[in-house]
Amino acid sequence: MPIDILDRSIQKIAVIGSGQIGPDIALHFSKVFAPHGVPIVVVDISDDALAAGRAKLDKKVDRGIESGAFKPDAGVAMKSNVTFTSDYDQVRGSDLVVEAATEDRALKGRIFSQISGLVDEGAILASNSSHLEPEAIFESISNRSRAMVVHYFFPAERNPVVEVVPGADTDPAIGRAVSDFYEAIGKVPITVGSRYGYAIDPIFEGLFLAAALLAEEGAGTTREIDAVACEALDYTVGPFTAMNLTGGNPITNVGLDNYTTKIHSWFRSPQSLKDAVAAGSKWDTPKRGEKVEVDEAKRVAITEALRGAYFGICGEIVDSGISNVADLDMAVELALDMFAPFRLMNQIGVGEALRLVSSYAAKNAGFPIPECIRTQANRELPFTIPTVIRRDEGDVAVLTIRRPKALNALNNEAFSQIEAHIRTVDTDPKILGTVITGFGVKAFVSGADVNFLAKIDSSEMGEATSWGSNQSLLVVENSKKPVVCVMNGLAFGGGNELAMACDARIARAGQKVFVGQPEPNLGIIPGAGGTQRLPRWIGMEAAARILRTGRPISSAEALTLGLISEEVTGTNRELVDRGIAIVQNAANGEAPLKGIERGPIQVPEALDDVPLGHLSTAVDAILCRALLEGCRMPLDDGLKFEAKMFGAVCGTKDFRIGVTNFVKNGPRSKAEFTNS
């Protein structure tokens, strides 16, 4: 499958720079493009850097083969697909060039002046700068409409986040297309306004500054501060350890001093960092697995200071307009592997967050109190953090479920946001209908968030939980305007139930594992309409087999059964375009959508036996009741009956066994059901 950026198919990619990050960028590209025969070229003027880059890439691929992440043949292909060379002429013919050289404005400018003469006018020119504005990097080239920053994070082949930073002269359509391209190759892009440092590095480096200042003030040792930071902000590793791992002292030293004038005066390189850079030394940090004991008063003081700094830095970025709450929350959690800032503020209370920021600002000259936090605290409301993003494509609203860390699993917030968007679309005279899709290439929706199941403590609570989920999906099903589900990846459990509440479904072609209702593996039954809608879409026999065994089907089988109306080959962009066309044709009366049967359907007296294996016969008996008795009713009554049966299953021993096993051991572990 070719992958395009707007008006051209990517046939060749060049990476300039074989230093710390260039080989990792090339590795990710080769993983994606080697199967399509798209060569990757890494160019550097240093033979030593090229040799080290080749060795680094090969070593990482070999580790992947050993761990089973790559099949041996695929690993060999990935390595042979990348050429390391000092010959800049090898860049010719590239459709995408990513520069990953040293963070030096003059050097980057010279590179792009040379590169722009080697590729045609349609090639995309991107700089993996960590700080420099695109206007500064590309000032010497003539065609800046196709030039921008694409900022990767350590390690580039595995860290999903990429900041896409268009410049003042970047064609907005190309900026959006580059973001779509990175989503298509498995990254999580966020578009950020042009400002020195962009959105994420001021957080990473600003928290390091806050930690360094605490150490200089004697609030704690670097080891103690690292340990407390992991608790206070849910860091995987603390700020000093992170600086050691990334080799970030020199670039952070420069970045912090530039932030002083580029952002605000609190930012500056602390003396301890200047000394570390001059000496080439690392920070004293806890060893892996080491537990550092910290006095309680000291722990509280460090926690409050770090959280105050964290919230203030993130709030200022939102105030600046270069990013937003939804993008920043998602990107910080994924890129920096720490607690999402606005979700943490909501958890502790926005009023408390404002107190912490205000306290930090009072002790640190030049540190601003963000208006977005002050306003939200005055309203006494939590931040709204969108996980379902609406973007209007002409006269069609496109809703994208974006929870990449959870493979777009539905939680209560996502259900509520989908419902709210559909209600808004229904009253918007400019909009003909809705497309619902998922972010990324792996999953439309991987299911419902299982953690809520562990909180169900009675049949009554189970029934209420099921009926609550159904309320949101009934809003989708009863929309006055066409709703088409674009299934960009697998749809399990609640994901398939959401899809079935739509008027029509299309899917990415060739998905071997596509749709499944795995609830029996958890000791439950579907609780958001699965037992009632699936038989109405594909017939009782096929539906019962899928529901009772929990085994998934392919997209080809889904097409044969009639669950989807077509398979579409292409990227998410192409799938969404097809979904938009279906909505428009339906709304205009050119190709009306049939919709689901709302009345009772014909069902047998009993269901044939199916091989249940390790699954609970007690749960299966309740599932069969939901299917047979519910489908003899009109759909609305059947949904209420399903909720009643969901409550009944929550009263079984096997429900508790299944959910506990899932939470403790994960989805691949088989629960030891007692059939009771």
Q: What are phi and psi of 185, to 5 degrees?
A: -105, 15
Q: Which two structure tokens, joined as six digits, stand for 422? A: 């559909």
Nearest to 355 by CA among 299, 302, 307, 316: 307
DSSP per residue over 462-520, as a string?
HHHHHHHHHHHHHHHHT-SS-EEEEE-SEEETHHHHHHHTSSEEEEETT-SS-EE--GG
Q: Considering Cα of 600, then 603, then 606, then 610, what sign does the dihedral take? A: negative
The residues, any chain, with a CB within 8 Å of residue 261's CB and separated by 6 or more, are none
Query: Residue 540 and residue 546: Cα distance in Å, rounded?
Result: 10
CA distances from 16 to 24, 45, 86, 138 (A): 12, 9, 10, 15
Give which of 615, 411, 414 is closest to 524, Cα–Cα.
615
Crossing angle of helices 653-665 and 617-631, in 10° steps, is 110
Nearest to 486 by CA among 501, 476, 500, 499: 499
483: which strand partners?
A: 434
Task: Look up 121 and say whether it is catalytic.
Answer: no
Q: Is 519 a catalytic residue?
A: yes
* ∠ Cα 97 337 417 (to 5°): 90
CA triplet 355, 356, 361: central angle to 5 degrees? 95
Instruction: Read off the amino acid at residue 123.
Output: A
Strands in 443-445's sheet, in edge-to-edge order, are 443-445, 490-492, 515-516
Tokens of 195: 């400002």
Tell me the pairing of strands 40-43 and 13-16: parallel
- DSSP-assigned beta bridge partners for residue 149: 127, 165
Would you say 628 and 532 are in contact if contact means Cβ atoms under 8 Å apart?
no
Paired tokens of 161 = 């986040």
Q: CA 513, CA 662: separation in Å to the nearest integer?
A: 20
Residue 219 is inside which H or E element, if any? none
Instruction: Give the HSE-up count for residue 640: Cα atoms under 13 Å, Cβ half-sphere.
Output: 4
- Which residue type is seen at 616? S
Nearest to 225 by CA among 315, 154, 295: 295
The per-residue DSSP string of 339-395 comes to --HHHHHHHH-HHHHHHHHHHHHHHSTT----HHHHHHHHHT-PPP--SEEEEEETT
- Cα 277–283–288 angle (5° rounding)? 145
Q: Which residues contact 533 (CB under 8 A, 6 or more apart)?
A: 497, 500, 501, 596, 635
Q: What is the dihedral of CA 659, 665, 668, 670, to 10 degrees?
A: -60
Active-site hit among 157, 519, 567, 642: 519
Q: Are 319 and 350 in contact (CB under 8 A)?
A: no
Q: What is the DSSP-derived secondary structure letter of residue 163?
A: E
| Residue among 497, 557, 597, 605 flagged as catalytic | 497
User: Rounded to an integer, what distance in angstroms lies between the CA atom of residue 663 and that of residue 651?
Assistant: 18
Instruction: Supply the residues annotated as catalytic.
Output: 497, 519
